[in-house]
């Protein structure tokens, strides 16, 4: 039976988090604070650690009228969504793409198991490199495209709005601006569409009598792109921002509310076929079900194509690696 989404009935909502590490447990905690689900299940190879986290979270769950427990893949059945955060993390100086081989091998183990027990669920991928692994999760699950969502540049878009909000002295929620493409080094800010108070940035600056400072704005985009490197250099990981972003992706799924978010989905972008990257999408209980059209400038279109090509190059390097699970052989590009 597919999950029944009903915003007034959190009782029926189960969310599974695969990977009870830093991102996974912070996401579970953010879910509790948001009261989005009544049943939160943690799955991890390190059962002992997951058990400890579940025990600790259960005491917070007391206040949210929810339960947090350790489970196994059969507990994915009837989950509204399964969030995948399992995998190795960047070390200082590593790019997200450096993680690909290890985390792709892990996905070959995890995703078919989730799909087997929860054929109607929605996969939300956070593990890096998130675009490459969103593509892998689609292939390994055999799910329709709208039910495999990468957190993608939802994180970068949040950071970008934070930077622009600080620059212009306005609440980041009142800044409309998006980061597109890879959740990684080839991402691009859609400057031509950025607006405050319904005005493009140049018009806003003119109306508000402030300088349109191109160098300062480029600094906002650079700090957005480099934020994770900076945080990892200082504290070894990122967890709070991404956990809140994951909950903001789960919200429209659980409440069926047609939010527009920049998330990663498999499609054709900038003339590059069969690649996953982030563009604005509409999300509801069906998943990331509809692209939102954008009119990008010529140079932005070129940058989007370059971003798609760089992700595609990594995908191609993974092609034909066999996937072995319980005597079944899958090929990444084979139909399941
Ligand atoms: N998308 C984003 O914006 C974003 C932000 C931060 C981190 N991340 C990514 O999230 C991933 C996790 O980061 P983290 O800081 O939580 O790492 P972590 O090391 O704290 O946690 C990873 C967890 O995965 C578990 N695990 C490993 N193999 C597993 C398997 N086969 N099945 C189930 N569980 C398994 C480990 O036991 C561990 O508990 C990394 O790939 C990281 O790069 C993504």
pLDDT per position as a tens digit, 294-313? 999 999 999 999 999 999 99
Ligand 1 proximity of 25 Cβ (cutoff 6 Å) = no
**What's the CA-to-centroid distance between 174 and ligand 1, angstroms?**
32
Distance CA 227, CA 148 (A): 26
* pLDDT of 97 higher than 60: yes
Cα of 98 from ligand 1 centre, angstroms: 14
Atom of ligand 1 nearest to the CA of 46: 37
User: Does residue 153 surpass a pLDDT of 90?
Assistant: yes
- Cα–Cα dist 314/316, whole Å: 5
Best of 28, 102, 113, 128 for a ligand 1 pocket test (most atoms within 8 Å of beta carbon): 128
pLDDT value at position 92? Answer: 82
Would you place residue 95 in the very low, low, confident or very high pLDDT band (cuts 50, 70, 90)? confident
Report residue 245 CA to chain centroid gap: 7
pLDDT at 10: 55
- At residue 307, the pLDDT reads 98
Phi, psi of 23 (to 5 degrees): -70, -45
Residue nearest to atom 24 of ligand 1 (CA): 86
Task: Give the Cα separation of 280 and 73 in Å (integer).
Answer: 31
More confident residue, 2 or 143: 143
Cα separation, 274 vs 268, in Å, equals 6
Confirm if 300 and 191 have CB atoms less than 8 A apart: yes
Query: 11: pLDDT confidence band, cut at 50, 70 and 90?
Result: low
Identify the pLDDT of residue 320.
53
Q: Residue range 260-280: average pLDDT?
A: 97
Beta bridge partner(s), residue 15 = 40, 81
pLDDT band (50, 70, 90) for residue 110: very high
Query: Is the CB of residue 244 below 6 angstroms from any atom belonging to ligand 1?
Result: no
Residue 5 has pLDDT above 80, yes or no: no
Let me know: does 156 contact 134? Beta carbons within 8 Å.
no
Q: Sorting pLDDT into bands at 50, 70 and 90, what band is 326?
A: very low
How far, in Å, from the CA of 40 to the mean position of ligand 1? 17
CA–CA separation, 87 vs 237, rounded Å?
13
- pLDDT at residue 164 is higher than 50: yes
Residue 331 has pLDDT above 70, yes or no: no
Decide: residue 103, CB within 10 A, 0-12 exposed, 13-18 middle, 19+ buried.
buried
- Residue 9 pLDDT > 70, yes or no? no
Q: Which residues share a beta bridge with 175? A: 196
Name residue, tokens 């709208």.
146
Q: Residue of the nearest CA to atom 31 in ligand 1?
A: 106
Average the pLDDT over 52-60 and give the result. 96
Give the model's confidence band at 328: pLDDT under 50 very low, under 70 low, under 90 confident, else very high: very low
State the binding site. 19-24, 44, 103
For residue 16 and ligand 1, the question of a CB distance below 6 A is answered with no
Q: Is 12 in the pocket of ligand 1 (CB under 6 A)?
A: no
CA distances from 325 to 107, 140, 216 (A): 11, 11, 51
Q: Check pocket membership of 99 for ligand 1, CB cut-off 6 A.
A: yes
3 pLDDT higher than 50: no
Q: Return the minimum-mean-pLDDT range out of 91-100, 251-260, 267-276.
A: 91-100
Cα separation, 163 vs 134, whole angstroms: 27
Tell me the sheet residues that pair with 70. Answer: 42
Task: Tell me the per-residue pLDDT of 175-224, one tens digit each, with 9 for 90 and over.
Answer: 999 999 999 999 999 999 999 999 999 999 999 999 999 999 999 999 99
Distances in Å between the Cα of 320 and the Cα atoms of 93, 111, 204, 276, 316 are 29, 17, 51, 18, 9
Q: Which residues are annotated as a binding site for NAD(+)?
A: 19-24, 44, 103
What integer pLDDT is reported at residue 321 of this predicted model? 52
Alpha-helical runs (H) found in 184-281: 201-208, 214-235, 240-255
**E strands along 126-186, which residues?**
148-150, 175-176, 179-180
Question: Which of 149, 130, 132 lies closest to 290, judged by CA?
Answer: 149
Active-site annotation holds for 183: yes
The CB of 86 under 6 Å from ligand 1? The reply is yes
Distance 126 CA to ligand 1 centre (A): 8
Which tokens go with 67? 């339960």
| Residue 319 pLDDT grade (very low, low, confident, very high; cuts 50, 70, 90) | low
Residue 322 pLDDT > 90: no
- What is the pTM (predicted TM-score) of this model? 0.92
Work out the pLDDT band at 61, boundaries 50, 70, 90: confident
């Amino acid at each position: 039976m597919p999950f029944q989404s009903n915003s007034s009935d959190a009782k029926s909502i189960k969310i599974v988090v695969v990977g009870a590490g830093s991102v996974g447990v912070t996401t579970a905690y953010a879910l509790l604070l948001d009261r989005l689900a009544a049943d939160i299940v943690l799955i991890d190879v390190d059962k002992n650690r997951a058990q400890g986290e579940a025990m600790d979270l259960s005491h917070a769950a007391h206040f949210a009228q929810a339960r947090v427990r350790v489970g196994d893949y059969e507990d994915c059945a009837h989950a509204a969504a399964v969030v995948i955060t399992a995998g190795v993390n960047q070390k200082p100086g590593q790019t997200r793409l450096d993680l690909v081989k290890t985390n792709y091998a892990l996905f070959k183990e995890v995703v078919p198991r989730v799909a087997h027990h929860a054929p109607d669920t929605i996969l939300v991928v956070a593990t890096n490199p998130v675009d490459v692994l969103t593509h892998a999760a689609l292939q390994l699950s055999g799910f329709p495209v709208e039910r495999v969502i990468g957190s993608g540049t939802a994180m970068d878009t949040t950071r970008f709005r934070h930077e622009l909000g600080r620059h212009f002295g306005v609440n980041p929620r009142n800044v409309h601006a998006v980061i597109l493409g890879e959740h990684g080094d080839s991402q691009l800010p859609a400057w031509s569409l950025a607006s405050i108070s319904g005005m493009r940035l140049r018009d806003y600056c003119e109306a508000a009598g402030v300088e349109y400072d191109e160098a300062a704005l480029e600094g906002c985009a650079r700090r957005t792109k480099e934020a994770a490197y900076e945080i990892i250099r200082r504290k070894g990981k990122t967890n709070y921002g991404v956990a809140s972003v994951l909950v903001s992706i789960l919200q429209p799924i659980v409440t069926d509310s047609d939010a527009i978010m920049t998330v990663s989905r498999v499609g054709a972008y900038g003339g590059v076929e069969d690649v996953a990257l982030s563009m604005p999408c509409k999300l509801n209980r069906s998943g990331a079900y509809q692209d939102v059209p954008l009119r990008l400038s010529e140079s932005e279109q070129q940058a989007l194509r370059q971003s798609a090509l760089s992700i595609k190059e990594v995908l191609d390097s993974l092609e034909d690696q066999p996937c072995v699970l319980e005597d079944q052989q899958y090929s990444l590009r084979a139909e399941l």
